[in-house]
Chains A and B, each alone.
Chain A
Amino acid sequence: MPDSILQFDGISKSFFGVRALEDVSFSLPRRHLLGLIGENGAGKTTLMNILGGVLAPDSGRMRLRAADYAPRRPADATGAGIAFIHQELNLFTNLSIADNIFIDRFPRLGRSPFVNKGVTRKQTARLLESLNLLLPPQTLVDRLTPGERQLVEIAKALSTGAEIIIFDEPTTSLTAAETQRLFDIIRDLRQQGKSVIYISHNLGNVLELAEDIVVLRDGRVVDAGPGKDFTIDRMISRMVGRAIDQIFPTRESKPSDEIVLEVKGLSQTGIVKDVNFALHKAEVLGLFGLMGSGRTELARMLFGLEPFEEGEVLVNGVPCGRICAGDSIRRGMAFVTENRREEGLLMEATVVDNIGLVALSAFAAARFPHLLRHRRLGDAVTQIAESMRIKSGPVARSLAKNLSGGNQQKVVIGKWLMSRPAVFIMDEPTRGIDVGAKYEVYSIINDLAARGASILLISSELEELMGLCDRIVVMSKGEITGGFDRGGFAQEPILHAAFKGHQRLLQGGRAGQR
Chain B
Amino acid sequence: MAVTHVHRVLAFASGKAFGFARRILLSGNFVLYLSIAFFAGLYLFMPYIASGRNLANISSNMWPLLALVLGQMFVLILGGIDLSQTSIMALTSVIGGMLMTTRLDPALFAKSPLWGLLLSADGSPLSGTVLAVPLGIAAMLLVGTLVGSLNGLAVAKFRMPAFMVTLVSMMFFSGLAIYLTKSENIMYLPDGYTRIGSGGIGPVPWSFLVVLVLAVAAHLVLRHTVLGHWFFAVGKSIRTSIVSGVPTERVIVTGYAVSGFCAAVASILYSARLAGGRPTLGQNLLLDVIGAAVIGGISLFGGKGKVLWALFGVLFFVLLSNSLSMLALPFYAEPVVKGSVILLAALLDVTRTRFLAREAAA
Q: If the complex has contacts A15-B361, A20-B362, A348-B303, are A370 and B226 also in contact, measured as CB distance less than 8 A?
A: yes
Report how far A199 CA is from B233 CA in the complex, Å: 35
Give the residue of B226, B233, B246, B359 whose beta carbon is less than 8 angstroms from that of A364. Answer: B226
> B228 — which chain A residues lie within 8 A by C-beta?
372
CB <8 Å contact, B360 and A353: no
Interface SS majority for chain B: helix
CB <8 Å contact, B225 and A364: yes
Report how far A201 CA is from B240 CA in the complex, Å: 27
Report how far A118 CA is from B320 CA in the complex, Å: 58
Q: If the complex has contacts A371-B224, A372-B226, are A326 and B233 also in contact, measured as CB distance less than 8 A?
A: no
> A343 — which chain B residues lie within 8 A by C-beta?
237, 239-240, 243
Q: Is B244 an interface residue (CB 8 A)?
A: yes
> B239 — which chain A residues lie within 8 A by C-beta?
342-343
Give the residue of B220, B224, B240, B361 whose beta carbon is less than 8 angstroms from that of A346. Answer: B240
> B232 — which chain A residues lie within 8 A by C-beta?
346, 349, 353
Report how far A360 CA is from B245 CA in the complex, Å: 10
CB <8 Å contact, A16 and B359: yes
Report how far A399 CA is from B357 CA in the complex, Å: 11
Report how far A266 CA is from B293 CA in the complex, Å: 49
Q: Mark B281-311, 1 if CB is under 8 A from A, else 0.
A: 0000000000000000000000110000000
Q: Is A78 an interface residue (CB 8 A)?
A: no
Q: Is B229 an interface residue (CB 8 A)?
A: yes
Question: Which residue of chain B lies nearest to A361 when distances are taken between CB atoms in the complex?
Answer: B226
Report how far A360 CA is from B246 CA in the complex, Å: 10
> A513 — which chain B residues lie within 8 A by C-beta?
none
Q: Is B236 an interface residue (CB 8 A)?
A: yes
Q: If the complex has contacts A345-B237, A372-B229, are A305 and B220 also in contact, measured as CB distance less than 8 A?
A: no
CB <8 Å contact, B236 and A348: yes
Q: Mark B210-239, 1 if CB is under 8 A from A, else 0.
A: 000000000010001110111011001101
Q: Is B242 an interface residue (CB 8 A)?
A: yes
> B241 — which chain A residues lie within 8 A by C-beta?
346, 357
Q: Is A335 an interface residue (CB 8 A)?
A: yes
Q: In the assembled complex, how far is the CB of residue B137 from the closest CB belonging to chain A, in whole angstroms?
A: 24
Q: If the complex has contacts A326-B247, A372-B229, are A344 and B359 also in contact, measured as CB distance less than 8 A?
A: no
Report how far A335 CA is from B247 CA in the complex, Å: 16
Question: Which residue of chain A lies nearest to B234 when distances are taken between CB atoms in the complex?
Answer: A346
Q: Mark A315-332, 1 if CB is under 8 A from B, else 0.
A: 000000000011011000
> A402 — which chain B residues lie within 8 A by C-beta?
360-362
Question: Which residue of chain B lies nearest to A399 when distances are taken between CB atoms in the complex?
Answer: B360
Q: Is A415 an interface residue (CB 8 A)?
A: yes
CB <8 Å contact, A346 and B237: yes
Report how far A343 CA is from B230 CA in the complex, Å: 15
Q: Is A259 an interface residue (CB 8 A)?
A: no
Question: Which residue of chain B lies nearest to A55 when distances are taken between CB atoms in the complex?
Answer: B361
> A55 — which chain B residues lie within 8 A by C-beta?
361
Q: Is A140 an interface residue (CB 8 A)?
A: no
> B361 — which chain A residues lie within 8 A by C-beta?
15, 55, 402
Q: If the complex has contacts A342-B240, A349-B232, A364-B226, are A326 and B360 also in contact, measured as CB distance less than 8 A?
A: no
> B242 — which chain A residues lie within 8 A by C-beta?
305, 325
Question: Which residue of chain A lies nearest to B237 when distances are taken between CB atoms in the complex?
Answer: A346
Interface centre among B224, B230, B243, B246 (most CB of A within 10 A): B243
CB <8 Å contact, A46 and B243: no
Question: Which residue of chain B lies nearest to A20 when distances are taken between CB atoms in the complex?
Answer: B362
Report how far A336 CA is from B116 CA in the complex, Å: 62
CB <8 Å contact, B243 and A344: yes
> A16 — which chain B residues lie within 8 A by C-beta?
359-360
CB <8 Å contact, B240 and A46: no
Q: Mark A367-378, 1 if CB is under 8 A from B, else 0.
A: 001111010000
Q: Is A144 an interface residue (CB 8 A)?
A: no
> B360 — which chain A residues lie within 8 A by C-beta?
15-16, 399, 402
Give the residue of B225, B233, B247, B362 whose beta carbon is less than 8 angstroms from that of A349. Answer: B233
> A328 — which chain B residues lie within 8 A by C-beta?
245
Question: Which residue of chain B lies nearest to A41 when distances are taken between CB atoms in the complex?
Answer: B362
Interface centre among B237, B247, B362 (most CB of A within 10 A): B362
Q: Is A263 an interface residue (CB 8 A)?
A: no
Q: If the complex has contacts A16-B359, A20-B362, A370-B225, are A329 and B245 also in contact, measured as CB distance less than 8 A?
A: yes
Give the residue of B220, B246, B359, B362 whose beta carbon is less than 8 angstroms from that of A371. Answer: B220
Q: In the assembled complex, how far is the CB of residue B323 from the closest CB belonging to chain A, in whole angstroms?
A: 35
Q: Is A347 an interface residue (CB 8 A)?
A: yes
Q: Is A337 an interface residue (CB 8 A)?
A: yes
Q: If the complex has contacts A364-B226, A370-B225, A402-B362, are A358 and B236 also in contact, measured as CB distance less than 8 A?
A: no
Give the residue of A15, A20, A346 whose beta carbon is less than 8 angstroms from that of B233. Answer: A346
CB <8 Å contact, B303 and A325: no
Report how far A305 CA is from B243 CA in the complex, Å: 7
Report how far A70 CA is from B318 CA in the complex, Å: 49
Q: If the complex has contacts A15-B359, A348-B303, A402-B362, are A357 and B225 also in contact, measured as CB distance less than 8 A?
A: no
CB <8 Å contact, A353 and B362: no
Report how far A20 CA is from B361 CA in the complex, Å: 11
> B359 — which chain A residues lie within 8 A by C-beta?
15-16
> A369 — which chain B residues lie within 8 A by C-beta?
220, 225
CB <8 Å contact, A358 and B245: yes
User: Could you tell me which residues of chain B, from 242 to 275, have a CB within 8 Å of some CB in chain A?
Assistant: 242-247
CB <8 Å contact, A360 and B229: yes
Question: Which residue of chain A lies nearest to B362 when distances are taken between CB atoms in the complex?
Answer: A15
CB <8 Å contact, B226 and A360: yes
Q: If the complex has contacts A15-B361, A15-B362, A46-B362, are A335 and B243 also in contact, measured as CB distance less than 8 A?
A: yes
Give the residue of B225, B240, B244 whose beta carbon is less than 8 angstroms from that of A372. Answer: B225
Question: Which residue of chain B lies nearest to A374 when distances are taken between CB atoms in the complex?
Answer: B224
> A364 — which chain B residues lie within 8 A by C-beta?
225-226
> A344 — which chain B residues lie within 8 A by C-beta?
240, 243
Q: In the assembled complex, how far is the CB of residue A312 from the closest CB belonging to chain B, in whole angstroms?
A: 22
> B245 — which chain A residues lie within 8 A by C-beta?
325-326, 328-329, 358
Q: Mark A285-323, 1 if CB is under 8 A from B, else 0.
A: 000000000000000000101000000000000000000
Q: In the assembled complex, how far is the CB of residue A279 from the closest CB belonging to chain B, in whole angstroms?
A: 20
User: Could you tell me which residues of chain A, from 395 to 416, have a CB within 8 Å of some CB in chain B?
Assistant: 399, 402, 415
CB <8 Å contact, B244 and A415: yes
Report how far A325 CA is from B247 CA in the complex, Å: 9
Q: In the assembled complex, how far is the CB of residue A418 from the closest CB belonging to chain B, in whole angstroms?
A: 11
Q: If the complex has contacts A15-B359, A361-B226, A370-B226, are A347 and B236 also in contact, measured as CB distance less than 8 A?
A: yes
Q: Mark A42-56, 1 if CB is under 8 A from B, else 0.
A: 000110000000010
Question: Which residue of chain B lies nearest to A363 when distances are taken between CB atoms in the complex?
Answer: B226
Q: In the assembled complex, how far is the CB of residue A330 from the closest CB belonging to chain B, in whole angstroms?
A: 8
Question: Which residue of chain B lies nearest to A340 when distances are taken between CB atoms in the complex?
Answer: B240
CB <8 Å contact, A372 and B236: no
> B225 — which chain A residues lie within 8 A by C-beta?
364, 369-372
Give the residue of A18, A46, A342, A360 whose beta carbon is less than 8 angstroms from that of B237. Answer: A342
Q: In the assembled complex, how far is the CB of residue A116 from the closest CB belonging to chain B, in whole angstroms?
A: 37
Report how far A361 CA is from B232 CA in the complex, Å: 15
Q: In the assembled complex, how far is the CB of residue A501 from the closest CB belonging to chain B, in whole angstroms?
A: 30
> B243 — which chain A residues lie within 8 A by C-beta?
303, 305, 325, 335, 337, 343-344
Chain B interface (Cβ within 8 Å of chain A)?
A: 220, 224-226, 228-230, 232-233, 236-237, 239-247, 303-304, 359-362
14 A-B residue pairs with Cβ-Cβ distance under 8 Å, sorted by A, are A20-B362, A325-B243, A328-B245, A342-B239, A345-B237, A346-B236, A353-B229, A356-B229, A357-B246, A358-B244, A363-B226, A371-B224, A371-B225, A402-B362
- Lowest 3 CB-CB distances: which A-B pairs, in order? A329-B245, A346-B236, A371-B224
Given A325-B242, A325-B244, A347-B236, output 14 extra A-B contacts at Cβ < 8 Å: A15-B359, A15-B362, A20-B362, A46-B362, A305-B242, A342-B237, A343-B240, A349-B236, A349-B303, A356-B229, A357-B241, A369-B220, A402-B360, A415-B244
